[in-house]
Amino acid sequence: MTAENEIALPGAMVTRDPIFISIEMSRSKWVIGVHVPTTDKVSIHMIDWGNMTALLALIDRLRTRAGSELGVDVPVLCCYEAGYEGFWAYLRMTAAGHRVLVIDPASLLVNRRAKRAKTDRIDAKSMIRALMGFNRGEHQVLSAVHVPSVERDDDRRLMREWQRLVQERTMHTNRIKGPLLSQGIVGFDPRARDVADRLAGLTTGDGRPLGPRLGDDIRRELVRLHLVIDQLAGVEAERDRIALAKQPGKDESRSDDTPRPAWCPPEL
């Protein structure tokens, strides 16, 4: 299971240092960097992506081995970089009683004179070195991100969805206005409720009706646009309902009856 060792660290403080563990999360594997306080080596272990059972079993073996050598219970300090994996690994490891830091990737110091090679093994070892420095009070070597509660993280999804929908609305609007502009047509509002009638009456800058392919393209884009508008209205209504319920003196039970606006896709 251990793939390699490297002598690249200062001597451990065996009476105070925990077991340092870094997790480099690639798409198929987790590369685990390990430093125990009885050695100056970093060992590298490979496990399948997301196999938290294997990771916790590895940690238990390391603690048992270090505890038998030192005669004391050795704590664990883990870290991994914030990314697409989110915070579920943090929750699992903290629930198992381990201290975990989720690192801001941009905060890790880089040796600009060194060759800028980047592999999962190198990243795992770099995080171990940074974690050891952080544990000894060198807090400038990394920054840990704030891990929100499960409830808070879920609440944030509403705002993220609102932002995505606003971007999609702009994208679909531009995909409609752009082709029309190329035909000499300006001032067309694709969000208008009478958009179907307006589209039927459009003529190009040189006096022609819209080409049939262009007209079909715009109609399909309008359907997509108004679907986004409908979803955006629902998200905004939910956002407003939550904000109203959090205001002091408001009756939350009544806020659930707040009507939610909805757009009807135009008949195209």
Span 37-54, pLDDT tens digits: 988 889 999 999 999 999
How far is the C-alpha of 206 from the C-alpha of 233, rounded, in Å? 38
Task: Say whether both 28 and 87 belong to one domain.
Answer: yes
**CB 200: neighbour CB atoms within 10 A?**
11
Query: Which of 141, 159, 188 is a domain's end point?
Result: 141
Q: What is the identity of the amino acid at 263?
A: W
pLDDT tens-digit series, residues 85-128? 889 999 999 999 999 999 998 888 655 444 455 577 888 899 99
How far is the C-alpha of 128 from the C-alpha of 7, rounded, in Å? 12
pLDDT value of position 155: 85
Task: Say whether both 125 and 177 belong to one domain.
Answer: no
Is 107 exposed, middle or buried (CB count within 10 Å of its CB: 0-12, 13-18, 19+)? Answer: middle
Judge whether 261 lies within some domain.
no
Task: Say whether both 115 and 194 belong to one domain.
Answer: no
Judge whether 97 lies within some domain.
yes
Task: Say whether both 110 and 155 belong to one domain.
Answer: no
Mean pLDDT for the stretch of residues 198-210: 91
| Domains: count for the chain | 2
Task: Say whether both 7 and 94 belong to one domain.
Answer: yes
Judge whether 179 lies within some domain.
yes
Residue 185 has pLDDT above 50, yes or no: yes
Contact yes or no for 68/12 (Cβ under 8 A): no
Task: Say whether both 183 and 101 belong to one domain.
Answer: no
CATH number of the domain where residue 54 is located = 3.30.420.40
**pLDDT bucket at 193, cuts 50 / 70 / 90:** confident
- pTM listed for this prediction: 0.68
Query: Which of 141, 170, 200 is a domain's end point?
Result: 141
Task: Say whether both 134 and 160 belong to one domain.
Answer: no
pLDDT value of position 74: 92
Task: Say whether both 24 and 136 belong to one domain.
Answer: yes
Is 224 exposed, middle or buried (CB count within 10 Å of its CB: 0-12, 13-18, 19+)? Answer: middle
Mean pLDDT for the stretch of residues 5-13: 45
Judge whether 163 lies within some domain.
yes
One-character DSSP codes across 60-101: HHHHHHHHHHHSS---EEEEEE-STTTTHHHHHHHHTT-EEE
Q: Give me the chain's average pLDDT, please.
A: 85
- Any residues with CB less than 8 A from the CB of 233 and at least 6 apart, and which? 260, 261, 262, 263
Q: Which domain holds residue 189?
A: 150-255
Judge whether 265 lies within some domain.
no
Task: Say whether both 104 and 19 belong to one domain.
Answer: yes
Judge whether 102 lies within some domain.
yes
